[in-house]
Chains A and B, each alone.
Chain A
Amino acid sequence: MTTLQNPPTATETPALAITDLHMSYVVRGKPREVLRGVTFEVRPGEAFGLVGESGCGKSTTAYAALRYLPRNGLITGGKIEASGRELTAMSGSELREFRAHDASMVYQDPVQAVNPVLQIGRQVAESFTVLGHSSGEARDLARKALERVHIADPVGVMERYPHQLSGGMLQRVVIAMALASDPSLLVLDEPTTGLDATVEAEVLDLVRELRDEIGAAILLIAHNLGVIRTMCDRVGVMYAGRMVEEGTVDEVFDGPSHPYTVGLLNSIPRHGLRKTDRELFSIPGNLPQIGDSLPTCVYVDRCPVVTELCRSEVPPIVDRSDWHWTRCHHPDRIGEIPEPEEIAADHLVGEEEVIGVHGVSKTFHQRSGDVPALVAVDLGFAEGETLGLVGESGSGKSTLAKTMLGVYEPDEGGAITLRGRPMATKATQRIEESIRSIQMVFQNPDSALNRSWTVRRILTRAVSKLTGVTGPEADSRAVEVARAMQLSERHMDMRPRQLSGGLKQRVAIARAFAGDPDVVVSDEPTSALDVSVQAAILNLLAELQRDVRTSYLFISHDIGVVRYLSDRIAVMYVGRLMELAPTDAMFDGPNHPYTEALLSAVPSVDGEAENRIPLTGEIPSPKDPPPGCVFHTRCHRFIEGTCDVLEPPVVEVRPGHTIRCHIPPDELAAAQAEDLGDLRDVLRAERQA
């Protein structure tokens, strides 16, 4: 969005105006400050985004906008005004009236936002009866509301219960309910965070489309910078309960003027950056805890261009343009922030296969029938290689990982080999050497680390179990491993809850590396982390790989991250590999139509034009895969009579790049280039107009 769609005028009453808001949470009996003077406005028809890392207070701000605070939340100062009305002064019934008619909220998890025991139709209709419609009218309006959010069979859906709908569908239902009152303020709190990239793209498209229709002011909270960039007019960057920079999305993302914004933007892999190019920028230190007393400038402890002035004086608001300001003493020294170093050492990938997956299938036997979750998967890892694995949830990525690790036993016929020799299929039957050689890093360190154990115990146990070393020797080895993860001695006697998310994930990685493994399987290791911490973890993984030449199976839904770290990328769909290619080849194309759709679904931080290929419908259940090509039900290049009948062949595009598709590679290449050409024409036309 290059221009403000709705240039605000000074006379217009803002739909939401928050002025110098201070808020605390009472935790274990003490009030702890979480918002420390937040000021911003959202004007009618405008979309305002709030970004920042977890704990910066962005969700608290969102809830405060409706004065919808948890029991222990306490507003200690400031004003919240919606369309000129003061929320903090409202009585209970006024507030209820306000929430019913003037404001709506869409929550992060749609599953928790709906009542699981009521039919969808009743719940949607309820949001109309609240407004005074009769129940007959309400049902009618509910159907129209569902149509409006593009639910294909609204009458059918109204009869169903929440558990019968997918996450994306439910989020649409929640949006339909939020729009029922035709609100003047719509708050969206991480509306797509729990959804797959393809579904996220669909929901975002919907919100974008409805935006123009409803004319409501939108407050969008997201940690994903790409989502903010593609959805919002203006953006505010929050840090430790304060707003540090605000401006139009283009100004802030293209010309960031606060060191924190610069740090955030540089910590995500952009413009096709690879691990062989340079390290990612990571912000040193941690976000101040809520309730900590803050220095003059909130960012002073982590800022690369800090001066004495920053420590002695609160930075003023420095205007960068009409709409763009930053709270920094030195916005002109932003250019001095050093870029991360180029990587000098070579990244060597060996020739020999370390671990091989040969024709592995996995069928779950359930009462209702067999579920083939993996179908004849072939993969191999060379020493020091990263294989990225992408696909929507339900595509079988984690099943593959767990089968390799011996948590699940694969079907007869396939084999998992370690340096050419087959391994026992179950972890409990594997010899020590096989267990040691393949280890896993989990998505969520909170779940992966035993919270009642100290770091020392977690690591020494892994060392002694995996290498057979015990006693003081195991301890010193544990310390050594921890040090390689940039954990210090002092962390050793802490328990996981005392560590930040990034440190916890380091401990989890250290545990995986305790036995010097050959392959480390990482299942979304950074998706629970903030971007700046994610950068540090990715740097660590890349560095470890350079040093000890471990191979990685890297599962992620974040295409940018996979591209940064992987040497080859595999795309999975309904338990089958659809495409396997070296990273560069994958991004050069031609691609399998599914890959094409996946790649197009990523909201870009760079503001590049989007040419999204919609993936209609949902991923089919592996229990009942479609005949022929499993992807034909959602494919935009579907050939009738072929794709729905015949299993597609695996075609080699170039050495090492295979596609499972009926369309020959050169035809795919031509079609994909043509689509790109169409897009360019559209863009050119737009520019002229």
Chain B
Amino acid sequence: MTTKSDQSPTPDGSPEQSGEAIRQAAAATRRQVRREQRALLLRTPGFIVGSVIVLFWILTAVFPELFTVWGPKETVVDDAGQTLLRTPPNSTAWFGTDRLARDVYSRVVHGSRPILIAAPAATLIAAFIGSLLGLITGYFRGWVDEIVSRLLEAILSIPSILLAIVIVFTFGATNPVIIGTIGFLFIPPIARTVRAATLAEAQLDYVTAARMRGERSLFIISREIFPNVIGVVIVEVTVRLGYAIFTLATLAFLGLSGGNVTDPNWGVDVAQNYQQIVASVWWPTVFPALAIGILVIGVNLIADSIEKVLKS
């Protein structure tokens, strides 16, 4: 192979005259695109609000004592030493007290920790296994795909809460079992999304080119295709995180939580207090329920913003 040495009509980007061309091409470098995406993300109202919410709950999960006066299991007494039972929100107990005279505010603040440990752990398990299955089925298709996809659909066809109850009942309501169950339940949707993305990638000619130069499938999947579907995985993980929080709270509401009933837990607190709403004691139920709602909304706001920015 020889190098072109004459300087007759220079095609685009040849070394001789390419300074300008390269400068222009580099104007849209990956780093700059990333920087612009980040700047745009930081300017998206949804992302800002979502981040503030999620950061707040993370802070309460890590340092709950910073936010509270009373302990979550402590009995609240007023200045006169009187035990405050079922007291509406007041200056001593901001969110009121429950039937055991515990501070609802303190229980809400302390309640973020279990859910913020279990939900991300479950989502990561699901993301790992789901991505792997999605990549394999999307790339190989054929009978591998048929079998795995049918199995995943079988899981999807059973109402997830029902399935979760069955599994947790069978193996016992411990934290690892609950995390594992939710991880398992979220494998099918993640696998399906990654499979769809992988199917589209596998149609592209760079995969054909790799096959034609004799690359092994493992190499094609892990090195060629995976880097191109990682954006899909990130979006899917943030979306699933919101669902995981919700599902965890639901299970706790149904009495399936990893801890003791007296431990602060939003779902458990809602379950233990909701019957008193008819007696106008709404605060021990509404505040933990609001906490669940706000955290899920915060996570979803972040998920939506990330998806929009990655697509713009």
Which A residues form the contact surface with B (CB < 8 A)? Answer: 27-30, 279, 281-286, 288-289, 292, 301, 340-341, 405-407, 427-428, 430, 432, 435, 439-440, 442-444, 447-453, 462, 465-466, 480-481, 483-484, 486-488, 490-491, 494-495, 497-500, 502-503, 506, 511, 513, 516, 532-533, 535-537, 539-540, 543-544, 547-548
Contact = CB atoms under 8 A, between A and B. Distances in A.
A279 B11 CA distance: 11
Contacts of B2: 484, 547
A450 B228 contact: yes
B3 interface: yes
Contacts of B28: 289, 497-498
A458 to B, nearest CB: 8
Contacts of A540: 11
Q: Which 8 A-B pairs have the closest CB atoms?
A: A536-B11, A452-B227, A486-B14, A448-B205, A484-B1, A284-B10, A28-B36, A442-B205
B205 A533 contact: no
A617 to B, nearest CB: 30
Nearest to A503: B13
Contacts of A428: 211, 214
B273 interface: no
Contacts of B11: 282, 284, 486, 502, 533, 535-537, 539-540
B206 interface: yes
A486 B4 contact: yes
B9 A486 contact: no
Nearest to A29: B40
Contacts of B43: 29
Nearest to A457: B223
Interface stretch (B17-25, B52-60, B107-115, B264-272): B17-25
Contacts of A487: 13, 15
Contacts of A503: 12-13, 25
B4 A497 contact: no
A264 to B, nearest CB: 14
Given A284-B9, A284-B17, A465-B213, 19 more contacts: A28-B33, A28-B39, A29-B39, A279-B8, A282-B12, A284-B10, A285-B10, A341-B8, A407-B211, A428-B214, A435-B212, A447-B204, A465-B214, A486-B13, A488-B13, A499-B13, A500-B21, A513-B1, A543-B4
B30 interface: yes
A309 B30 CA distance: 37
Given A284-B9, A491-B22, A28 B1 contact: no
Given A282-B9, A282-B11, A301-B20, A494 B26 contact: yes
Given A452-B227, A547-B2, A442 B13 contact: no
Contact of A533 (B12, B213, B214): B12
Nearest to B309: A28
The range of chain B's interface size is 35 or more
A407 B208 contact: yes
B213 A486 contact: no
B25 A448 contact: no
Contacts of B12: 282-286, 500, 502-503, 532-533, 536
A583 B21 CA distance: 36
Nearest to A529: B12
Contacts of B1: 480-481, 484, 513, 516, 544, 547-548
B29 interface: yes
Contacts of B3: 483-484
Contacts of B37: 28
B209 interface: yes
A284 to B, nearest CB: 4
